[in-house]
Amino acid sequence: MKYYIILFARCIAFTIIIVICFAMPSLVLMPGYAAGRHFDHGGGGSNQLCLPEEPQWKNHVSGNGPAGWLYGIEYRTHGVHEVLFSGVNNGNSTDFNSKPAPCAVCYVPQRSASLMIPARTSCPVGWTQEYTGYLMSEHSFGSSNSFRHSTTYICVDGAPEVATGNVNQIQAVLLFVRVGCGSLPCSKYHDTWEVACVVCTK
Note the Cα 76 to chain centre separation in Å: 12
The per-residue pLDDT for range 72-124, each reduced to its tens digit, is 888 888 878 888 888 888 888 888 888 988 888 777 777 778 888 899 999 98
User: Per CATH, is 1-52+68-202 categorized as 1.20.120?
Assistant: no
- Average pLDDT along the chain: 76
Q: How many CA atoms lie within 13 A of 103 on its CB side?
A: 23
Span between the terminal Cα atoms of the chain, in Å: 11
* pLDDT confidence bin for 11, thresholds 50/70/90: low
Q: How many CA atoms lie within 13 A of 36 on its CB side?
A: 32
The per-residue pLDDT for range 44-75, each reduced to its tens digit, is 668 887 888 888 777 776 777 666 677 888 88
pTM to 2 decimal places: 0.67
Q: For the chain, which residues make up each domain, given as ranges?
A: 1-52+68-202
Cis amide prior to 124 (ω within 30 degrees):
no
